[in-house]
Amino acid sequence: MPTLSINDLTKRYATGDLAIDQVSLVIPEGQVMALIGPSGAGKSTLIRCVNRLVEPTSGDVLLGDQNITKLGARKLRRARRHIGMIFQEYALVERLTVMENVLSGRLGYVGFWASWLRRFPKQDISDAFTLLDRVGLADMVDKRADELSGGQRQRVGIARALIQNPDLLLVDEPTASLDPKTSRQIMRLITELCRERNLTAVVNIHDVPLAKLFAERVVGLQAGQIVFDGSPEGLSPDVLTRIYGEEDWLATAETGNADMPESEPGVVEADRSL
């Protein structure tokens, strides 16, 4: 599985705003990296430049030896099949069923008529059932997406990204609209699945304690530039000030560094001091 390399990536929007400013990053295979930073730092833009939902202004994005920024429309679609994305506010198609939402992750692999008639290959359907089972939604198959709770929706979002059988997972604020407990469960599920499948993942997250808890590497973005890159333990008050600006970081001290038993969510709950 390939490494993701971002070289001198810059995005200037048509309005003149410089969202990312010559960012370079190498994310080795199987690494779960958290991208933190204040709102407007360019986190969303950065991960959208990877699969070109946003067109970068200059610079390169390489997945393995393929330069994604140089691909034409057809090849870009092929490359996108190998990049799963999980969204803030889930971005499920609300009026489609859970199954249709999950299967939409296979659209890059099936022809138009098969997808129009919802006649997906047997293997895809069986994979969808396995994944829905894995994320705990086995009996929700025919529910419409808008009937689900926030946590359930994000689980569908995860299944949709994973059924693509991606090499790389782009995760944009997966917990932004979830309560603290569900947030942890979702982050735990994402990181577990990444380990199981040896997936490379870039996770945008504004919640520093969560980032510390689940990522092996943290990159701090501020005004489109990388101001921190290291292990979660390195996030000292000084570093947080560099990323987010002046604030009494010790006063909001969290228990993020405490040992978290993965299997006992109840204990995690009790530890929470938010």
Determine contact, residues 146/94, Cβ cutoff 8 Å.
yes
By CB under 8 A, residue 81 contacts another protein: yes
Q: Please give the size of the binding site for another protein, defined by CB under 8 A.
A: 32
Residue with smaller CB distance to another protein, 80 or 217? 80
- Site track for another protein across 160-199, x = CB under 8 A: x---x-----x-----------------------------
Shortest Cβ 7–another protein spacing (Å) = 22
By CB under 8 A, residue 53 contacts another protein: yes
Given 14, 39, 116, 274, the residue binding another protein (CB under 8 A): 116
Determine contact, residues 1/65, Cβ cutoff 8 Å.
no
By CB under 8 A, residue 122 contacts another protein: no
Cα 258 to chain centroid distance, Å, stands at: 24
By CB under 8 A, residue 85 contacts another protein: yes
By CB under 8 A, residue 78 contacts another protein: yes
Which range touches another protein (CB under 8 A), out of 31-39, 98-106, 194-202, 261-269? 98-106
Q: Which residues are paired to 229 by β-bridges? A: 219
Determine contact, residues 157/90, Cβ cutoff 8 Å.
yes
| Residue bearing tokens 């993942």 | 201
- Secondary structure (DSSP) of 154-222: HHHHHHHHHTT--SEEEEE-TTTTS-HHHHHHHHHHHHHHHHHHT-EEEEE-S-HHHHHHH-SEEEEEE
By CB under 8 A, residue 11 contacts another protein: no
**Whole-angstrom distance, CA of residue 183 vs CA of residue 93:** 21
Residue with smaller CB distance to another protein, 93 or 258? 93
By CB under 8 A, residue 91 contacts another protein: yes
**Whole-angstrom distance, CA of residue 156 vs CA of residue 149:** 11
Binding site for another protein (CB under 8 A): 51, 53, 77-81, 83, 85, 87-89, 91-96, 100, 104-109, 112, 115-116, 157, 160, 164, 170
